[in-house]
């Protein structure tokens, strides 16, 4: 962000949370009931939907997965990451119609919060 690359920083913070969420979702049993059935992977191969969600971690499922895992701090990080993802594509909007951010100070604060959370979470031992 030092060079004014706020959208880039927002995108990197989003990707870090997405990867962390996918790693947390490796507790497959906790999500299996949420995504029953099968889906198609590459070359028409059938796989469990839960495995597709974990492997791809679609943006549209991130909030749902975080809520289901039950970690409130992770949920807040996912919310901020989704806001940053939207900012990355839409930029600032002081009137609040296209973006949740009206100033770069807000963006910077959320990027810093998300990065700090990812650092702490990544340093924790895995169960």
Angle (CA) 106 5 73, round 5°: 45
Q: For position 20, what pLDDT does the model report?
A: 95
- The answer to whether residue 42 sits within a structural domain is yes
| 34/21 Cα distance (integer angstroms) | 16
Q: What is the pLDDT of residues 72-112, one digit of tens each?
A: 999 999 999 999 999 999 999 878 777 899 999 999 999 99
Question: How many domains would you assign to the chain?
Answer: 1
Residue at token pair 């997965």: 65
User: Which residues constitute the domain of residue 57?
Assistant: 6-123
CA R_g for the chain:
16
Q: What is the pLDDT of residues 10-62, one digit of tens each?
A: 999 999 999 999 999 988 888 999 999 999 988 889 999 999 999 999 999 99
Cα-based distances in Å from 8 to 13, 15, 55, 66, 111: 9, 11, 24, 24, 10
Residue at token pair 């990867």: 19
pTM of the model: 0.90
DSSP class of residue 48 equals E
- The answer to whether residue 73 sits within a structural domain is yes
């Amino acid at each position: 962000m030092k060079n004014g690359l706020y959208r880039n920083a927002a995108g990197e913070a989003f990707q870090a949370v997405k990867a962390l969420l996918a790693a947390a979702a490796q507790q497959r049993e906790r999500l299996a009931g949420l995504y029953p059935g099968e889906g198609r992977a590459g070359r028409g191969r059938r796989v469990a939907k839960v495995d597709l969600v974990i492997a791809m971690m679609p943006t549209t499922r991130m909030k749902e997965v975080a809520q289901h895992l039950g970690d409130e701090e992770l949920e807040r990080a996912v919310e901020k990451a989704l806001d940053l993802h939207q900012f990355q594509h839409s930029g600032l909007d002081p009137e609040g119609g296209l973006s949740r951010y009206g100033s770069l100070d807000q963006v910077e604060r959320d990027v810093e919060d998300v990065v700090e959370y990812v650092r702490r979470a990544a340093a924790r031992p895995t169960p």
